[in-house]
Structure 1
Amino acid sequence: MGGGPCGCRDGPDDGDGVTTAFALPAVRGTLKAQAPLAPLVWFKAGGAAQWLFEPRDADDLSAFLRDLDPSVPVMALGLGSNLIVRDGGVPGVVVRLGKPFAKVEALDATTLICGGGASGILVSSTARDAGVAGLEFLRSIPGTVGGFVRMNGGAYGRETCDILVECDVILRSGERVTLSAADLGYTYRHSTLPAGAVVVSATFRGHPGEPAVIQAEMDRIAAAREESQPLRSKTGGSTFKNPDGHKAWALVDDAGCRGLALGGAQVSEKHTNFLLNTGDATSADIEALGEEVRRRVKAKSGVELEWEIQRVGLSADDDFTGAKK
C-alpha cells in the first residue's frame, strides 16, 4: 500500500474501477485492505473488511480514529464468536485488538485490569491464580473483554454488569474516556456504549476465593458447556436472546426447528439456540435460516425472538459504495 501526502492512503478500488473516497491516517500498527474476515469469525463465512486495522497500542488507535474522516464507519472485532459477517463484507474500518491488548493483571486481592482483547478464558484463569472468585462464568463465554463490556455478556446466572467497575474506551472521535458500569446503561445483552467506540481495557472486581474452589467451578462450567453445546462446530454461539419468561432454545424446539437446514446452514440438534455452518454455508444461508426460525417460532408461540448474534456488513449484491452490483 502506497502512502499519500502525510502518510494518508486512498480507499481501495471496488473491483469496477470505483474508488471509495476517503483517506486513512498513517499508523504504527498494521492496516490491510480487503482483508478476509471469514477466517477470523467462528462461522468461517462472510466477506472482507474494506480495511482491517490492528493498532500497536491505545495511542495508535486514538490517533487513527481522531484523524480518520468522521463519516467512515468503524467496527471493533474480538474473537468473532457472536457475529455474522454478511457476504458483501464490512465497509469502513474493522479494528481488531491483538496481543498488545490481551494482557490481564491483578491490581489487588479482588480486582483485575484486563485488556480489551483478552479472552474470557485468560481473565478467569488469571482470576483463579490470584484467588479472585466471581469471574468463573467468563470461562464459558467465547469472546473478549471488549465484547463482554459492549454486550453485557453473561452466562450461568452472572453478567458483565455484576463485575465491571469501569472501562477505558476510545470513542469514534479518538477521545479516550473512562466509563463506569452505571454509565453504560446495562440491560440484558445490551449497553449504551456509542457506535464506533472501542473498549481498550476494563477493570473487573470479584471477591476473595480459594484457587482450588475457583478451579472446581470453572471445571463444572466447562463440563456443562461440553455436554450441552456444539463446541466443535462452526457456530456463532447463542443465536437468540431469551425472551422474558422463556428459554429461546425451548421455543425453537417447540416450533419443530431442531435440525432444520437451509443451504449449508443448520439448526443444531444438540442445542437448538445454535446455528451451524455444516461446511459450505454462506452468511446469507445462516441469516436466512435464523429468520426462518424466527418466523416459525412466532407462528407457533406468538413470541418474537430477538437476535443475540450481531449481523454486520453488506449483502453479496452490494459493494462498499452501497451500490448494487
Structure 2
Amino acid sequence: MTADALQPVMPAVRGRLTRDAALAPLVWFKTGGAAEWLFEPADADDLSDFLAALDPVVPVWPLGLGSNLIVRDGGMPGVTVRLGKPFAKVEQLDATTLRCGGGTSGILASSTARDAGIGGIEFLRSIPGTVGGFVRMNGGAYGREVADVLVKCEVVLRSGERRTLAPAELGYTYRHSDLPEGAVVVSATLRGHPAEPAAIGAEMDRIAAEREASQPLRSRTGGSTFKNPTGHKAWALIDAAGCRGLTRGDAQVSEKHCNFLLNLGSASSAQIEALGEEVRERVKAQSGVTLEWEIQRVGVAG
C-alpha cells in the first residue's frame, strides 16, 4: 500500500485545499516547514461542513497573519486553516459596535472604528495579527485588551459545530483564553464608545509612531516573544541578563527591543526557538524569574 493510500480522504470544499503548502512565506519569521494540508475556506459554512466531514483524528490548527508564531522546521501535520479575504470584512452594527471577520487585521478593525467615530479600539492598531488571533489569545497593548471590547464571538469547533460565545465563556486571563484546540474564530463583535474621528486618528498615529521608534517592525520577527511576568517587564529582565544582541546562527535577540527575536537572513525555526530557550535560561539564572513564551510554537521539529 502506498503512503498516499494511507492518507485520510479530504472532504470536498468550495474554497482552496492545498497539499504540502509552504508556510514560511506566510509567517513573519519566514521560516518553518510545510503544512500537510492548507485549507482556505470560502466562508464559514464551507469551514463548518469541511470540519464536520473531516476524520476526527486529523489535527486542525488556525493560522492568522503568522506574526506571533514559530512554525517548526518539520512543518504542520493535519490541516492548517487560513482565513482569507472572505473573513476580512468589517460591518458596523450600530453607533458603537462592529462585527469583524476572523481574518480582519488589527489595522483594518481600528481604522474602520476611527472612521465610524468609535473609540476604545485604537489599541488594535498596535497588534500585528488578525481578529481571530486576538480573540484566542486575549491580545492587548497600551493598557487595553480584547476582553475589554469583545461582546461575543462566533467560532467553528473542531467538530464543525458553530457556536456563539460570550467573553465569560472564554476564560480570559492575561494573553490566554480557554478556547478549545482546533476551534476557529470566524467573527467577533466589538464595542467601543463614541469619540471624534480626529481624536481617534491622533491616538492611532501616536501608537504607530511609538511602536516604530521602539520596536524592530521592519525585520523578520515574531513580535513580543515572552509575556510580561507579574511585576516585571520581560525586555528589562532579558537586558539585565546580558541577552541584548545575543545570536545563534542567524537568529538574534534584537538590539532595539530585546523582547523581540529576529531572523537576520537564513535562521531556521530551530535556531530561533533555541535562542529563545537560552534567553529563558539566562533570565532564570540572573533574576530567578521564569519567562513564559508569548509566541506560539507549533509543528514538528525538523
What is the TM-score normalised by the length of structure 2? Answer: 0.99
Aligned with residue 274 of structure 2, among 285, 288, 302: 288
Distance in 1 separating the partners of 2:6 and 2:100? 36
| Paired residue secondary structure (1:178) | strand
**Displacement of 1:215:** 0.1
Aligned with residue 261 of structure 1, among 247, 253, 272: 247
Summarize deviations over 1:14-66 as a string: whole Å, max 9, x none. xxx57653111000000000000000000000000000000000000000000
Distance in 1 separating the partners of 2:45 and 2:5? 29
Quick one: which amino acid aligns to residue 100 of structure 2? C
Summarize deviations over 1:196-228 as a string: whole Å, max 9, x none. 000000000000000000000000000000000
Find out whether 1:308 has 2:294 as its counterpart: yes
| Paired residue secondary structure (2:37) | strand
| Paired residue secondary structure (1:147) | helix
CA RMSD for the aligned pairs? 0.9
Quick one: which amino acid aligns to residue 240 of structure 2? D
Aligned to 1:121: 107
Distance in 2 separating the partners of 1:19 and 1:219? 55
Aligned with residue 258 of structure 2, among 258, 265, 272: 272
Quick one: percent identity of the two aligned structures?
A: 77
Gaps of 5+ in 1: 1-12, 317-325
Find out whether 1:173 has 2:134 as its counterpart: no
Count of matched residue pairs? 301
Summarize deviations over 1:211-270 as a string: whole Å, max 9, x none. 000000000000000000000000000000000000000000000000000011000000
Distance in 1 separating the partners of 2:249 and 2:275? 9
Gaps of 5+ in 2: none
Aligned with residue 198 of structure 1, among 184, 187, 191: 184
Q: Which moved more, 1:46-55 or 1:21-30?
A: 21-30
| Paired residue secondary structure (1:23) | coil
Distance in 1 separating the partners of 2:64 and 2:182? 14
Aligned with residue 89 of structure 2, among 103, 106, 110: 103
For 1:2-81, list aligned pairs within 5 A: 17=3, 20-81=6-67
| Paired residue secondary structure (2:178) | coil
Aligned to 2:69: 83
